Structures are given as structure tokens and as C-alpha cells.
Amino acid sequence: MHAVILVKQVPDSSQIRVHPQTGTIMRQGVPAILNPYDVYALEEALQLKDKYGAFLTALSMGPLQAENALRKALSYGVDEAFLLSDRSFAGSDTLATSYALAAALRKIDSYRKIDIVFTGKQTIDGDTGQVGPGVARRLGFQLLSYVLEIKHIDFEKKTILVHRKSERGIQIVASKIPCLITVFERKRPIRYASLPNMIRAARAPVKIWNRVDAGIEELSKIGLKGSPTVVGKVFAPQNSRGPAERLEGRSPEEICSLLVEKIFEKFPEVEKKLS
């Protein structure tokens, strides 16, 4: 049993500030973190290790610093980590990213057959949720997106039963391995990294692959060339309201009467609904 978790290093967007005058992003000093949604994917994979002794591989594509995200994955108990890093990947959109990741996954699969690929629901920077489905299509794996829970796996019969989130409820789905699972966020957070795993993570080598190592020959499919989407202009959103008119009065009742009057004046239908 072999599962691969795709992880991405992202800027901690809670710490990104926009310059008030120029409207540009101030990235300096913004720490890079393991994409929070990938942590749920890691936990899901770690449970397969607990239950079935699965071998876990983490794979990331990004600049050399992304090694930190992989080390984090190792500290939780992942067995092996690969970083796909090459200048020619720069500027990849989701189509080009899924192409490169799928190529690396095929290479990994040739050494050790992959049963399940896990991804996060989305990242907090690109935030598209498109990479997981793209990779599944390219590998020809069954795509199980927005999975809430893996209910059952039978490795003999290669069957898997999951609950997945849909807009109007929960779908109960039976499928087959190999599959790609995008993991919906959970209530329970990830386990703590154990001390032995943390020590191992600090020492364990992260294998770094360039384009050729990953077996990618077609340059037209990666980087800017392989990316159909083009970023046009970037601009600050307008603020069409505010500053707010402050309502004042001698008592909370007086202030609230004023508020209710203003609401009903603008939306008389709201008054009619008062129940």
C-alpha cells in the first residue's frame, strides 16, 4: 500500500499586507508555510499508515525553499519526500502544474506502485482547487473530490468507499484503487509530530528532481509556455461605501429606533416581514 501526498508551500496569507498607497503586495518577511488544507490530506494519509502500514511519499513542486514544507511532512511520519524544482517550471498555471506533477508521479509509480494520491481541497494562494482533478485526469486515476471520510478500503479487491461533500448533502461513493482523493477540511486537526520523526525529518534527505529527472521532455507543456492562462492586470478593489454614518442617541433604544427607521425606509418589504 503506497500513498502519495501532494503538498505546496504557500505564503502565510494572514500576514500579507497591501501597501495602502500603491496597492501592491508587501511580501517581505511573510513566512512560507505548508498549505493548511494539505495538512488535512497528510492526516488522512497518516491514518492509512496507522491502519494498514502504508508507505507514504510526499511530493511538492516549487522553488528550493519548498523543501521546508516537505520536511514538515516528514516530521509527521511521511517516509520519503520529493521536490520537483526547475527553472523551466516558473510561471506554471494549474494545467502546467498538473502536467509536471503527473509526470513525477508516473516516475514514482514506476519504482513503487501508487494506490492513492492525496491532495488538499485547495491552496490558500492560488486557491483554485484545480490541480488535484487535473492530476487525476492525466494519470487516469479515479477522481474522488471533496472527500469527508474514507469509510472502507479493501486492498485485495482494490475497492474504496468514501463519503464526499456535495452542495446539497453527502454522496456515498464506491470506487476503485488507484484513485486520487482531494480531502475536505476536517474538524479534528492533525496529530503532533513525534520526537523521533522530528529528528528523522531534520536528517532525512529530500530528493530533488529537475525536469529531466521527472522524465519531462515536452517543454511546451510546462512553465509559462504550457500555461494557457495569462495574468492581466492586478488592482485594488474599490470600496463603494463607508465611512459608515454613525448612529447616536441618548439610549440604546433611541439609537436602535433610528436604525430600524433607516432600514425600513430603504427596504419597506423588510418591515412587512417582521414576524
Ligand X SMILES: Cc1cc2nc3c(=O)[nH]c(=O)nc-3n(C[C@H](O)[C@H](O)[C@H](O)COP(=O)(O)OP(=O)(O)OC[C@H]3O[C@@H](n4cnc5c(N)ncnc54)[C@H](O)[C@@H]3O)c2cc1C
- Give min distance, CB of 237 to another protein, in A: 5
- Give min distance, CB of 142 to another protein, in A: 5
Q: Does 157 bind another protein (CB under 8 A)?
A: no
Interatomic CA distance for residues 102 and 90, integer angstroms? 17
Q: Does 38 bind ligand X (CB under 6 A)?
A: yes
Q: Does 231 bind another protein (CB under 8 A)?
A: yes
Q: Which stretch binds another protein (CB under 8 A): 51-59, 71-79, 190-198, 242-250?
A: 242-250
Strands 142-154 and 159-166 turn out to be: antiparallel
Residue nearest to ligand X (CB): 126
Q: Which stretch binds another protein (CB under 8 A): 42-50, 56-64, 82-90, 142-150?
A: 142-150
- Give min distance, CB of 230 to ligand X, in A: 10
Name the residue with cell 495602502. Answer: 20
Phi, psi of 136 (to 5 degrees): -60, -45
Interatomic CA distance for residues 172 and 151, integer angstroms? 9
HSE, CB side, 13 Å, CA atoms: give it for residue 4: 27
Pick from ligand X, another protein, none: which does 25 bind, CB < 5 to 8 A by kind? Answer: another protein
Interatomic CA distance for residues 7 and 183, integer angstroms? 12
Interatomic CA distance for residues 66 and 140, integer angstroms? 27
- What would the grid cell of residue 72 be? 514538515
List the one residue from 50, 127, 218, 254 that touches ligand X (CB under 6 A). Answer: 127
Q: Which residues bind ligand X (CB under 6 A)?
A: 6-8, 13-14, 35, 37-38, 41, 60-62, 92-94, 97, 101, 119-120, 122-132, 229
